[in-house]
Amino acid sequence: MAVRGRERPVNSITRSRERPADVPFSASDLCPDDVLQHVVGIARDVGVGVNVELAVGWLTAVAAALDTPDEFALGQTGDFGGHELALIDFDPTAAARLRRVGQSIAAPSFPAVRTGLAVSGSAAQGRSQPFPADLDFFERVHITAPTRDEACARLGELIRADALRATDQSEQELEEVWFGRAAGSALRWRPADVAAGMVSHLSRPEAPPRQVTWLQAATDLGLIKLDWTVTDREAGGRVKVSTVVDATWEGPNGAVANLDGLVDADFQQVYLGAAAALLAARLRPVESLTEQRLTYSQAIEEEAVHYLRADPTAFEKVAKRLYNLCRITGRYAEAIYLRELFDEPAARLHQGRTALRLLIVDCDRDLPTARATLLDLVNDLNPALGDDEMCRQAAATCQALPTEATAELLRRAMESLDAALTNAVSIAFGMRLHAYPPIARLMDETIARVEARRDQGNGVH
């Protein structure tokens, strides 16, 4: 799939070597052997094992990607595609499950509408992240219409139809929808609001709520995101699922425009079908690849700082953002170190915490099933708890609950375990992130860059 001309990020490794254009990159160009051994040593000191063979294999794949003329490609089997770096981390054995879940939440068929569903986030990085906490999808929606207003109206119909069909499917539950803006603020719709086609919006604390209709929301689009809980029986339970929609409009003259003003870049999406990948390749942003990388990197930095400022600091989420940042900006040694954190016990506990929070919600629905599922989850997490006393005590409390325990008692026990897991995961990831000096510096530099951009935006000099 031909796209724009080749542009690559400049980094310290490529700057330090005068490389003729016809000499291919190698793994040692991206991460010299002495640097890799230093990464191995630092990781070993904090109890993290580095599989050197897999690390070199990843570097070799990245080097091969750097030597191809295009950044967007199809997988070897031709039935999925995306940015080359995203494809390197994608686990094809997960494709069947991802398509199965994706089909349940994908936009329905509409006249003059083409769609392309992709998986994003940790679910798209199964080769490096075996414990995804949830499933994040991304969907391109391309609408052909005479006018932008008609395209927006059709998009509104499609998104609402997608959201409402959850009411007819017992194994799929809509949590909320982000759709449209009012007074510059994103509108959050609960299922009842979507069904009514109207939401109450409070623009100012002192002002009365304003009623916004779904059609009105479609005239001022911002973030479009649907959050679901889906029961995947083949995978053994319920899972949190989200879909971010990027909608484009093609007018009579063939020009393509994004309906929210910006075509999102495809640096971390893997499209789950060849037709979807081809559609995405056609809708690539008009900005140069350098500009796309800058926009993407700045967005990732904003997310990382958001989680660095959380209380407690969500270091596990910071690590995932930093990995995406490092692999696209040429920080390959840092990327290797970060990759190794995602199959550690703390990553499994993070995944378990998401399942636990779903169980907390289920207490009032099916108490016996919630209790039985909790016992299975605790047994599954036990090997990853290590010697963390808080986690072990909270897990033991859950296991010791009597059969006749009330929903409230079960909920309190699970909330205690959730708090213990949150603390343990944050400490484990935080300690390991700070143990590798380049990562520690990167966190400080990221905070400084984000704060400088914010100050500049606020007119602070």
Domain boundary among 286, 311, 340: 286
**Which structure tokens are listed for 151?**
């395209």
Residues whose CB is less than 8 angstroms from the CB of residue 130 and which lie 6 or more positions away in sequence, other chains included: 342, 343, 347
Q: Is residue 204 in some structural domain?
A: yes
pTM for the whole thing? 0.89
Give the percent of the chain with pLDDT over 70: 91
Query: Tokens 């080359």, residue?
Result: 84
Give the percent of the chain with pLDDT over 90: 72
Q: Place 319 in a pLDDT band, splitting at 50, 70 and 90.
A: very high
Mean pLDDT of 447-454: 96
| Among 402, 380, 381, 388, CA closest to 431 | 388
Together in a domain, 86 and 219: yes
Q: Place 461 in a pLDDT band, splitting at 50, 70 and 90.
A: low
Q: Is residue 38 in some structural domain?
A: no
Q: Is residue 122 in some structural domain?
A: yes
Together in a domain, 444 and 304: yes
Instruction: Round to whole Å and give the CA distance between 90 and 125.
Output: 5
Together in a domain, 177 and 318: no
Together in a domain, 408 and 333: yes
Residue 114 near residue 279 (C-beta atoms within 8 A): yes
Residue 203 near residue 179 (C-beta atoms within 8 A): no
User: Angle 424-244-425 (CA atoms, 0-180°, nearest 5)?
Assistant: 5
Instruction: Round to whole Å and give the CA distance between 289 and 202.
Output: 40
Domain boundary among 271, 286, 301: 286
Domain boundary among 226, 251, 286: 286
Together in a domain, 325 and 455: yes
Q: Would strands 135-144 and 237-250 be described as parallel, antiparallel, or unpaired?
A: parallel
Residue 165 near residue 274 (C-beta atoms within 8 A): no
Together in a domain, 388 and 414: yes
Together in a domain, 297 and 282: no
* 32-42 pLDDT per residue, tens: 999 999 999 99
Instruction: Indicate the number of domains in the chain.
Output: 2
Q: Is residue 23 in some structural domain?
A: no
Q: Is residue 4 in some structural domain?
A: no
Segment 25-32 long-range contacts (CB within 8 Å, at least 24 positions apart): 25/63, 25/64, 25/66, 25/67, 26/60, 26/63, 27/56, 27/59, 27/60, 27/63, 28/59, 29/63, 30/59, 30/62, 30/63, 30/66, 30/330, 30/332, 31/55, 31/59, 31/332, 31/333, 31/336
Q: Write the burial class of residue 364 (CB in 10 Å: 0-12 exposed, 13-18 middle, 19+ buried).
A: exposed
Strand partners, 146: none
Residue 140 near residue 276 (C-beta atoms within 8 A): yes
Q: Is residue 86 in some structural domain?
A: yes
Asked whether residue 422 carries a pLDDT value surpassing 60, the answer given is: yes
Together in a domain, 201 and 298: no
* 125-135 pLDDT per residue, tens: 999 999 988 99
Task: Output the pLDDT for position 5.
Answer: 28
Together in a domain, 272 and 294: no
Q: Write the burial class of residue 397 (CB in 10 Å: 0-12 exposed, 13-18 middle, 19+ buried).
A: middle
Q: Where are the alpha helices (DSSP H) in 67-110?
A: 84-89, 95-105
DSSP label at residue 201: E
Asked whether residue 264 carries a pLDDT value surpassing 80, the answer given is: no
Instruction: Round to whole Å and give the CA distance between 308 and 315.
Output: 7
The better pLDDT of the pair 261, 311 is held by 311
Q: Place 18 in a pLDDT band, splitting at 50, 70 and 90.
A: very low
**Domain enclosing residue 170, as ranges:** 74-286
Q: Is residue 30 in some structural domain?
A: no
CA 319 from chain centre, in angstroms, equals: 12
Q: Is residue 80 in some structural domain?
A: yes
Exposure string for 105-136, b = 16+ CB within 10 A, e = fewer: bbbeebeebbbbbbbbbbbbbbbbbebbbbbb
Together in a domain, 276 and 300: no
DSSP for 317-369, please give it: HHHHHHHHHHHHHT-HHHHHHHHHHTTSHHHHHHHHHHHHHHHHHHTTT-HHH
Task: Output the pLDDT for position 224.
Answer: 95
Together in a domain, 219 and 234: yes
Query: Tokens 């059969």, residue?
Result: 403
Task: Output the pLDDT for position 191.
Answer: 95
**Which structure tokens are listed for 356?**
């636990």
Q: How far is CA 106 from CA 102, 111, 279, in A?
A: 6, 15, 15
Together in a domain, 260 and 385: no
